Chain A
Amino acid sequence: MQRAPAAVENPSPFDPFQCIGITRNFAINETALDDALIEASLRWHPDRWVQGTAQEQKQAEKNMAQINRAFGILKDPLLRAEALLTLFGAPLPTGTDKSASQGFLMEMMELKEEAESAAKNPETLSRFRTRLLTLEVQALEELKPTFESLQEDLVADTLSTVRGQLNRVQYLRRTREGLNLNILLGS
Chain B
Amino acid sequence: MTELPIFGQDTPQGPILGIDLGTTNTLVAVFDASGARILADANGEELLPSVVSFPKDELPLVGQSALDRARFDPKRTIHSAKRLIGKGIADLKEEQASLPYDLVNAPDRSLACIDLGYRQVNPSEVSGYILAAARSRAAQALKIKREDLTRAVITVPAYFDDAQRQATRDAARFAGLDVVRMLSEPTAAALAYGFEKKEAQRVIIFDLGGGTLDVSLLKLEKGVFRVLATAGDTRLGGDDFDRFLMNLAAEKIQKKTGVDVLRSPAGRATLRRAAEDCKKQLSTSETGTLKYHDPQAGVAWKQEIDWRTFQKGITPYVQRALDACAQVLQDAELNIEDVDEVVLVGGSTRVPLVKAAVSQFFQTTCHDELDPEKVVALGAAVQAGILGGKANNLLLLDVTPLSLGIETMGGTVSKLIPRNTAIPSQAKETFTTYVDGQSAISLNIIQGEREMASDNRSLGNFTLSGIPPMPAGLPQATVQFTLDADGLLRVQAKEQRSGVETEIAIEPKHGLTDKEVESMLQDAWDHAEEDLTQRRLADVRTQLDTVFRSVEKSNSLFSQLSEVQRERLEDAREEATTSDSVTSPDLLKGILDELEDASYPLAEILMNQVAVHAVQGQNLTEFSKE
Contacts and interface: CB of A to CB of B under 8 A. Distances in A.
A41 B425 CA distance: 13
Interface residues on A, range: 20 to 34
Contacts of A47: 181, 386-387, 395-396, 485
A65 B9 contact: no
A144 interface: no
Interface in B28-68: none
Nearest to A60: B424
A8 B1 CA distance: 26
B12 A45 contact: no
A107 to B, nearest CB: 25
The 3 closest A-B pairs by CB, nearest first: A68-B422, A4-B430, A65-B426
A65 B482 contact: yes
Interface in A38-57: 38, 41-42, 45-48, 50-54
B311 interface: no
Contacts of A51: 9, 12, 389
A98 interface: no
Contacts of B579: none
Given A37-B226, A53-B9, A61-B485, 11 more contacts: A4-B478, A34-B200, A34-B219, A38-B224, A41-B397, A47-B386, A50-B180, A62-B426, A64-B424, A68-B423, A68-B424
Interface of B: 1, 4, 9, 12, 180-181, 200, 219, 221-222, 224, 226, 386-389, 395-397, 408, 414, 421-426, 429-431, 476, 478, 482, 484-485, 496
A34 B425 contact: no
B386 A38 contact: no
A62 B386 CA distance: 20
Q: Which of A65, A69, A72 has the most CB of B within 10 A?
A: A65
Nearest to B383: A47
Contact of A9 (B224, B386, B485, B496): B496
B570 to A, nearest CB: 64
A106 interface: no
B226 to A, nearest CB: 8
A58 interface: yes
Interface of A: 1, 3-4, 8-9, 34, 37-38, 41-42, 45-48, 50-54, 58, 61-62, 64-66, 68-69, 71-72
A46 B484 contact: yes
A72 B397 CA distance: 13
B123 to A, nearest CB: 28
A3 to B, nearest CB: 7
Contacts of A46: 424, 484-485
Contact of A4 (B1, B421, B476): B476
B222 A38 contact: yes
Contacts of B414: 1
Given A1-B414, A51-B9, A69-B426, A45 B397 contact: yes
